[in-house]
Structure 1
Amino acid sequence: MNHICNMKYVVDLFEMVSTNIFRKIPPYPALYENISTDFSATDLSWEHIKLCYLILIRILPQIPTIDSIFINRIVSRLYTPLTVEQDQITSFLSVCITEFAYTRKFIRSELLKTLVEYYDLHRYPFSIAPALTLIARHFSELKITSQDFLVYIAPLLSAPHLKFFSNQFQKVASVVLSNNQNSGFQIFDKIVKFWPKTNIEKQACAVRIIIDICELLPPDQFKQTVSKLSQIFNDAVSSPNSDVAEQCLIIWDRQKLLSNIQSDNYSLIPLIINSLINTYYTHWSASVQNSASAALKILSEFCPKVVRNCMMQQTKISVDANEYYHSSWIKIAKKAGEHDMNMDIFSKLENINNAFPPETIMFRRNFSFSPEH
């Protein structure tokens, strides 16, 4: 009888504390303000909510069962923009997932539903970061599959609030790939489909995520990414947004990725070498130019023969272009002379190099990174 009474008190306490939590911000008496001048009523309110979650965690083992309605209401509190409460909710749900296996099905369902609601309605963006944190932290317990990633998580790459949860997205992608390497290319392909072509600000986050994924791919699957990866690289490395270009250029600091490129017989390098050279000579940002120069130096040491062949081909293209522009100017000058125009076009030919486009000028400069092998 005593045990039953104690259990009743525990359940009542659980209900009372839960009700306080679901009131958005726990109520606090006005006299709280008179307790201490060091704390405001709001501070005490947040101490109250921390205490509420602490009580829930302590008495949770004594509760017979937690139903899906309770989990739904707890997860719905992730919508709050206040990180203080988000941290408490995340800790509480982590305890539920770890200690009470029967809650995992409910929590998994609610977290995935949260992602869908945000993606469909673009509401509650603050809920996505903690939801992805829980998914990455308890990937195995929640039985998240690569298919779940493709359906529920990959579309978030095109979300308008990507910058708020890009780190968490990246973490989930890494965990999924670590546990499902056979589906690596499928995941890469899906993410590339959501590449934010028209939003330069989101491209910096997207580039970092794609590079991390490529680094985790096994060599046989990396080979399948070369074509699409080169397209993204060429677009990103010449982006007027310096953050996008620099995020793309850190690819050459990743030893694992360089190993993948090497295993693919360097087939990616001829596809991107032009963009690297153009960026080195024409990008407005000095830091991007320096990053491109460093990348070219690394490539020259890493695969000198491939880089040398690319340089020779580009030099030939440059020479042909020089000859074409030079002959064009000669024709223009002669035509002008035939019509007795009062302008000395021939004298301008002395400075004809200034009329050439950047891609034809660059090959007459000294390459500090050109291989001497």
Structure 2
Amino acid sequence: MFNKIMKRGQRKPSKSEAIEPPIPTSSTPNVTVNHASRLAAASPQPVTLATVPQNPGTVEALPMLRDVPLSERHVVFIKKLQICCFLYDFSDTMKHVRQKEIKRQTVAELVDMVQSGSCKMNEIMQEELIKMISVNIFRCLPPASHENTGSEAGDPEEDEMFMDPSWPHLQLVYELLLRYVVSSETDTKIAKRYLDHSFVLKLLDLFDSEDMREREYLKTILHRIYGRFMVHRPFIRNAINNIFYQFMFETERYSGIAELLEILGSIINGFALPMKEEHKLFLVRALIPLHKPKCIASYHQQLSYCITQFVEKDYRLADTVIRGVLKYWPITNCGKEVLFLGELEEILEVTQSAEFQRCMVPLFRKIARSLNSSHFQVAERALFWWNNEHIVALIAENRHVILPVIFDALEKNIRGHWNQAIIGLSSNVRRMFLEMDAELFEECQRQHEEREGRAGQLEEQRVLTWKRLEEAAAQFTDDDKMDFA
């Protein structure tokens, strides 16, 4: 092991290592050199974050990197990273004001440096940079301000948005990480040693932050990491999968589900055909069950996009997806039912006739129930399906199956729904079927009248049965009274 370390310490500099660590001199007595991972008996040890001072009061502003000689730039760079490792209490705006401003200016300078590519970083500098970023962003998140477990999430536009008081500084650190990941100067072979699986997992944990600004940065950074580091792609997909499982089956509370689904929407869009079995299992086991939680409104738009992308990629998945959505169909949640109806309309727009025929009977049984909903928005959303030309074409092609399923629901709406708009829309749909196939329409109407007649007879029989029971009970009571008398 010692020989390996010796060889590593004596390796030739690569092109990316344009700035080598200088030998410490007496002019920098306060700099401790101690990098345990790169010890070499015959070579000097570079400055590291292991010697970060613990007293924030000792922070001093350093000269700009562009004003420092090239031979000393590495030492100044590490010192700047040390300054950026100080953590302050940002809830108290009057505490450590000067030190906070020095840190802000230092991080901003590092962002400009990485973005411009004016100072190429060697491997040691990159490692220390990631360590500094980790110290700042990987932290315990504050307790959730509200619990979604067991209750429906509120409207995100009406709820008061959480604003992290440390965000002005955190944003610069996130910007630095983003610029490092996307920089053309960043060698992915070196960077992947520090942006490893452990780093990615900690990054994913931060998606539970209630600060929407932080989640937006995390979404962009993770997406860029997924794009540049191919070795991490399966791991990232599996890690997101596990977050979904924990959310669905344990907590039903996680702030970043929508952002993770946005990343997945882009990933799914890039899937090659034929689609791998792994991706189909992800659809069935993770994405479709995401329809179950009550707080689906907070991420339904992104979920619907992901689901539709799968069907667009492979039209044969339409039947699986539609049956999966029907499995989690809400019974008493009208707002959720409206969302499902909109999602199914989007799915049907990319569904072909063969797949539609496999699931049309259970699908339109659900639609018949929605048509008769006492909540006018649910019935209205279902009736709006007949404004979609593609869906109307599918219905017309299979009218002999669909019309008998929903005819009773249409008639019930026309005769007795409380909302005049629903009555008018139901009449329009009824007229469309009449124009499609008058003979089929008349047959369905005849069968409907027969069912109504039988239902009337059954109701009369039920009333007579109860009347006889009441008379028998009354007679029994009178006999009891005579016996006691």
What TM-score results when the alignment is normalised by the length of structure 2?
A: 0.58
Is the counterpart of residue 281 in structure 1 residue 415 in structure 2?
Answer: yes
* Alpha carbons 1:126, 1:164 under 8 Å: kept: no
The one of 19, 29, 54 equivalent to 2:135 is 19
Match of 2:218 in 1: 89
Q: Which string of whole-angstrom CA distances, capped at 9 and with x for unpartnered residues, describes residues 150-182 of structure 1? A: 111111212121111121121111001111222
Q: Is the 8 A contact 1:114 1:127 kept in 2?
A: no
2:285 is the counterpart of 1:151: yes
C-alpha contact 2:292 2:328 (8 A) present in aligned 1: yes
C-alpha displacement at 1:112, in angstroms?
0.9
When structure 1 is superposed on structure 2, of 65-74 and 189-198 the one drifting more is 189-198
Distance in 2, matches of 1:13 and 1:321, equals 77
Shift of 1:47: 3.4
RMSD, aligned CA: 3.1
Amino acid paired to 1:255: E
**Is the CA contact 2:164–2:211 (under 8 Å) kept in the aligned structure 1?**
no
Distance 1:81 1:112 in 2: 20
Partner of 1:189: 323
2:234 partner amino acid:
K
1:293-334 CA deviation, whole Å, 9 max, x = no partner? 333343344444433443344356557778x69x99xx9xxx
18, 31, 56: which one aligns with 2:177? 56
Report sequence identity in percent: 19
Match of 1:109 among 204, 223, 238: 238
Q: Secondary structure at the match of 2:294?
A: coil
Q: Which amino acid aligns with 2:307?
A: A
Q: Shift in Å at residue 288 of structure 1?
A: 2.6
What amino acid maps onto 2:220 in structure 1? S
**Superposed displacement of residue 131, structure 1:** 1.4
Q: Decide whether aligned partners of structure 1 residues 130 and 264 sit closer, same or farther in structure 2, where only a CA change above 3 A counts.
A: same
Q: Which amino acid aligns with 1:133?
A: E
Give the 3 Å change call, closer, same or farther, for CA 316–102 of structure 1 in structure 2.
same
Quick one: distance in 2 between partners of 1:78 and 1:280? 49
Aligned to 1:208: 342
How far residue 287 of structure 1 moved from its aligned partner, in angstroms, is 3.1
CA distance in 2, matches of 1:43, 1:170: 30
Identify the residue that residue 36 of structure 2 maps to in structure 1. Answer: none
Is the contact made by 2:133 and 2:173 (CA closer than 8 Å) also made in structure 1? yes
Distance 1:236 1:265 in 2: 19
Report whether the alignment pairs 1:75 with 2:198.
Answer: no
Conserved in 2, the CA contact under 8 Å of 1:215 and 1:260? no
**Number of the residue aligned with 1:46:** 167
User: Which residue of structure 1 lines up, in the alignment, with residue 362 of structure 2?
Assistant: 228
Q: How many residues align?
A: 315
1:180-210 per-residue CA deviation (whole Å, 9 max, x = no partner) reads 2223212222222222234344222222223
Match of 1:311 among 424, 433, 445: 445
Match of 1:138 among 219, 244, 267: 267
Q: Which residue number in structure 2 is paired with residue 38 of structure 1?
A: none
> Once the 2 structures are TM-superposed, how far is the Cα of residue 140 of structure 1 from its aligned partner?
4.9
What per-residue deviation string (whole Å, max 9, x for no partner) do you get for residues 3-47 of structure 1?
Answer: 455322233222212321223679xxxxxxxxxxxxxxx687433
Shift of 1:271: 0.9
Residue 259 in structure 1 maps to residue 393 in structure 2 = yes
Check whether the contact 2:269–2:309 (CA below 8 A) recurs between aligned residues.
no
Paired with 1:296 and 1:93, the residues of 2 have a C-alpha distance of 51
Give the structure with higher Rg (CA).
2
Structure 2 unpaired stretches of 5+: 1-12, 22-120, 143-162, 465-485
Q: Name the counterpart of 1:36.
A: none
One-letter amino acid matched to 1:72? L
Q: Is the 8 A contact 2:385 2:391 kept in 1?
A: yes
